[in-house]
């Protein structure tokens, strides 16, 4: 039987209509928008903005956000059509199963582990690091670092044992997901309200402190003076990718990672009350809201502080530095930004864990993974065993590995999913043009083709090591497919 056997659309729709035995439908359009914002607005807004401005785009980082948003919009429009047409859990994995067959579906489901599981582990490590900073470094080094890390502190060498705070936040959020999707959505909504409110306050208050001189010139000039780095060296802007319009494009590659997460909404399709109407609203609505906030935030941040300052005061410290240095009298806002960053980390972990468990749920229902991943809690009707196994897997990564796990692996899994979803729209319009669609991607084939081109370009632009590691991960997945999944496929047995 062909590797590319396709799952009939009618079978998926029948599965979606079985509300008595499947996942519990509790989410509204508002919940979905909040989930999207929860996944998108994380540390990326505070970290990536300063990095892109300081290294490549300068004040024109606002244009970088627009370019990145356009690329995400192409994919988002394709996701919206699929989510309204196939309202089941599984996201890009499920869409690929219908359009391109089982083997491609398995490959994309396996690649999504890089986005969701690895993403949750990486963010939980960052959550631990930032919590320790807020607490003034009061957590002992041994209990907030991996066994592979060591540091000379006070003349004495300290070795890490485990990253306990990362394990704690993963446990709490996993328990919340087991309790119920609605409860998780409520907590996420509260977090979203807090961090969006703080972002809006920064934009509102910071607008008065914008120095027009910081926005002139708008693009980094070719002869820009080098920026001072923390180690005393200087960062040169001579490269064509570090100034002018090409610098803006390079900056778009940096801030793209700040948009990752909106696709996780589609994994909750089977838990949405009216998915045909609400899924497109959730996907596109959250993307639009976050894009507007990103543009305004980056405009204010680069207006308050010169872009060269962000090379000296980077990462999470950049926004707090700008407030403390140039917005005198607003020290409280610096503290609020720190809280927003921690809240942002938390909601991103929550949505990533939910997305991964729903992808595994769908793969298990299809027989491509063991049945344990599809077992629902008798009361809460959530894939509780999947959540527990994911906690163990993600927790091991977060507590035992160093925090320098590259975020590019998360991105390459996401981009791969985007490419196949866009390709799936082209296939589905040909193979099943009469299928009922609650939302139709406009300007087909232009939109999906552009989505494929933009996302493929970003994949090619990633560093070679990331591509090799991602290729190795895919090979492991292929071995598992032929040893287990192909033999146990429900579709093939039928």
Instruction: Look over the chain and give the mean of its residue pLDDT values, rounded to a whole number.
Output: 85
The answer to whether residue 450 sits within a structural domain is yes
Of 19-23, 142-146, 417-421, the one with minimum mean pLDDT is 19-23
- pLDDT higher for 300 or 226? 300
pLDDT over 70 (residue 16): no
At residue 6, the pLDDT reads: 87
Question: What mean pLDDT comes out for the span 409-431?
Answer: 86
Strands 150-153 and 234-235: unpaired
At residue 307, the pLDDT reads: 93
The answer to whether residue 3 sits within a structural domain is no
At residue 340, the pLDDT reads: 79
At residue 121, the pLDDT reads: 86
26-58 confidence digits (pLDDT tens): 788 888 888 888 778 876 677 778 888 998 899
At residue 432, the pLDDT reads: 84
Q: Check which CATH number belongs to the domain holding 365 and give it.
A: 1.20.1740.10
67-90 confidence digits (pLDDT tens): 888 888 899 899 889 888 887 766
- Give the highest mean pLDDT range of 185-194, 256-265, 273-282, 358-367: 358-367
At residue 204, the pLDDT reads: 95
At residue 400, the pLDDT reads: 78
- CA angle, residues 339, 344, 345, in degrees to nearest 5: 105
205-262 confidence digits (pLDDT tens): 999 999 999 999 999 999 888 888 876 788 889 888 888 888 888 888 778 777 877 7
- What sign results for the dihedral spanned by CA atoms 60, 61, 62, 66? positive
The answer to whether residue 4 sits within a structural domain is no
Region of 90 on the Ramachandran plot (φ > 0 left; ψ -120 to 50 alpha; else beta): left
The answer to whether residue 473 sits within a structural domain is yes
At residue 425, the pLDDT reads: 93
Q: How far apart are CA 12 and CA 423, in angstroms?
A: 20
Query: Residue 134's closest CA among 389, 274, 341?
Result: 341
At residue 208, the pLDDT reads: 94
Q: How far apart are CA 87 and CA 91, in angstroms?
A: 9
Q: How far apart are CA 446 and CA 70, in angstroms?
A: 13
The answer to whether residue 96 sits within a structural domain is yes
User: Is it true that the peptide bond before 373 is cis, omega within 30 degrees of 0?
Assistant: no
Q: How far apart are CA 398 and CA 141, in angstroms?
A: 15
Question: What mean pLDDT comes out for the span 315-337?
Answer: 83
At residue 212, the pLDDT reads: 95
User: Is it true that the peptide bond before 65 is cis, omega within 30 degrees of 0?
Assistant: no
89-113 confidence digits (pLDDT tens): 667 888 889 888 999 999 989 988 8
Interhelix angle 43-52/117-134, rounded to 10 degrees, is: 90
How far is CA 310 from each of CA 57, 255, 306, 489, rounded to the nearest angstrom? 12, 15, 8, 52
139-188 confidence digits (pLDDT tens): 888 888 778 777 777 777 888 888 899 999 999 999 999 987 778 878 88
- pLDDT higher for 22 or 254? 254
118 and 20 Cβ atoms separated by less than 8 Å = no
- pLDDT higher for 5 or 241? 5
Strands 150-153 and 227-228: unpaired
For the beta carbon of residue 222, count every other beta carbon within 10 angstroms: 13
The answer to whether residue 2 sits within a structural domain is no
At residue 20, the pLDDT reads: 55
- pLDDT higher for 14 or 279? 279
Q: How far apart are CA 61 and CA 52, in angstroms?
A: 7
- Tell me what percent of the residues of the chain surpass a pLDDT of 70: 94
Of 334-338, 371-375, 418-422, 458-462, the one with minimum mean pLDDT is 458-462
The answer to whether residue 327 sits within a structural domain is yes
Q: Which residues pair with 153 in a beta bridge?
A: 156
Q: Which residues pair with 234 in a beta bridge?
A: 228
Q: How far apart are CA 289 and CA 296, in angstroms?
A: 11
Q: How far apart are CA 461 and CA 470, in angstroms?
A: 14
Q: How far apart are CA 245 and CA 65, in angstroms?
A: 13
At residue 301, the pLDDT reads: 95
The answer to whether residue 1 sits within a structural domain is no
pLDDT over 60 (residue 404): no
Of 104-113, 441-450, 480-489, the one with minimum mean pLDDT is 104-113
The number of folded domains in the chain is 1
- Tell me what percent of the residues of the chain surpass a pLDDT of 90: 30
3-state secondary structure the chain: CCCCCCCCHHHHHHHHHCCCCCCCCCECHHHHHHHHHHHHCCHHHHHHHHHHHHHHHHHHHHHHHHHHHHHHHHHHHHHHHHHHHCCCCCCHHHHHHHHCCHHHHHHHHHHHHHHCHHHHHHHHHHHHHHHHHHCCCCCCHHHECCCCCEEEECCEEEECCCEHHHHHHHHHHHHHHHHCHHHHHHHHHHHHHHHHHHHHHHHHHHHHHCCHHHHCCCCCCCCCCCEECCCCCEECCCCHHHCHHHHHHHHHHHHHHHHCCHHHHHHHHHHECCHHHHHHHHHHHHHHHHHHHHHHHHHHHHHHCCCCHHHHCCCCHHHHHHHHHHCCCCHHHHHHHHHHHHHHHHHHHHHHHHHHHHHHHHHHHCCCCCHHHHCCCCCCCCCHHHHHHHHHHHHHHHHHCCCCCCHHHHHHHHHHHHHHHHHHHHHHHHHCCCCCCCCCCCCCCHHHHHHHHHHHHHHHHCCHHHHHHHHHHHHHHHHHHHHHHHHHCHHHHC
Phi, psi dihedrals of residue 362, rounded to the nearest 5°: -65, -40
Q: How far apart are CA 92 and CA 100, in angstroms?
A: 11
State which residues form the domain around 428: 9-493
| Beta-carbon contacts of residue 15 (< 8 Å; ≥ 6 apart) | 22, 88, 365
At residue 423, the pLDDT reads: 92
At residue 483, the pLDDT reads: 95
At residue 85, the pLDDT reads: 83
Classify each residue of 437-446 as buried b or exposed e, where b means 16 or more C-beta atoms within 10 Å of its C-beta. bbbebeebee
pLDDT over 60 (residue 440): yes
């Amino acid at each position: 039987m062909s590797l590319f056997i396709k799952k009939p659309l009618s079978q998926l729709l029948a599965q979606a209509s079985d509300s008595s035995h499947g996942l519990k439908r509790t989410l509204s359009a508002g919940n979905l928008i909040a989930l999207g914002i929860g996944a998108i607005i994380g540390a990326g807004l505070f970290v990536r903005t300063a990095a892109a401005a300081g290294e490549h785009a300068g004040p024109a980082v606002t244009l970088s956000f627009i370019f990145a948003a356009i690329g995400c919009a192409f994919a988002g429009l394709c996701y919206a059509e699929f989510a309204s047409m196939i309202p089941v859990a599984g996201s890009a994995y499920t869409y690929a199963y219908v359009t391109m067959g089982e083997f491609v579906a398995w490959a994309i489901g396996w690649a999504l582990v890089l986005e969701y599981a690895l993403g949750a582990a990486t963010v939980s490590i960052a959550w631990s690091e930032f919590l320790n900073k807020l607490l003034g470094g009061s957590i002992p080094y041994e209990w907030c670092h991996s066994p592979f890390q060591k540091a000379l502190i006070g003349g004495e060498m300290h070795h890490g044992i485990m990253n306990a705070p990362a394990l704690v936040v993963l446990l709490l959020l996993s328990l919340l997901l087991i309790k119920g999707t609605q409860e998780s959505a409520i907590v996420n909504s509260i977090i979203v309200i807090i961090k969006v409110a703080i972002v809006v306050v920064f934009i509102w208050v910071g607008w008065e402190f914008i120095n027009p001189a910081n926005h002139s010139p708008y693009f980094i000039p070719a002869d820009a003076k080098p920026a001072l780095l923390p180690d005393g060296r200087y960062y040169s802007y001579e490269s064509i990718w570090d100034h002018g319009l090409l610098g803006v494009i390079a900056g778009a590659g940096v801030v793209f990672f700040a948009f990752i997460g909106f696709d996780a909404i589609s994994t909750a399709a089977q838990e949405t009350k009216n998915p045909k109407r609400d899924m497109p609203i959730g996907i596109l609505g959250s993307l639009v809201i976050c894009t507007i906030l990103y543009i305004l935030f980056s405009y204010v941040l680069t207006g308050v502080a010169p872009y060269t300052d962000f090379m000296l005061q980077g990462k999470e410290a950049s926004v707090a530095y700008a407030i403390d240095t140039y917005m005198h009298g607003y020290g409280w806002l610096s503290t609020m930004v720190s809280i927003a960053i921690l809240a942002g980390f938390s909601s991103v972990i929550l949505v990533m864990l939910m997305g991964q468990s729903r992808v595994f749920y769908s793969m298990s229902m299809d027989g491509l993974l063991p049945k344990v991943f599809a077992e629902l809690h008798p009361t809460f009707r959530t894939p509780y065993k999947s959540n527990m196994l994911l906690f163990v897997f993600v927790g091991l990564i977060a507590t035992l590995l160093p925090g320098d796990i590259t975020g590019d692996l998360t991105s390459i899994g996401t981009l791969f999913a985007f490419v196949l979803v866009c390709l799936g729209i082209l296939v589905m319009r040909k193979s099943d043009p009469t299928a009922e669609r609650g939302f139709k991607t406009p300007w087909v084939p232009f939109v999906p083709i552009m989505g494929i081109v933009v996302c493929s370009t970003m994949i090619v632009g990633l560093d070679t090591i990331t591509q090799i590691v991602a290729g190795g991960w895919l090979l492991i997945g292929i071995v598992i497919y032929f040893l287990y999944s192909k033999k146990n496929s429900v579709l093939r047995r039928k």
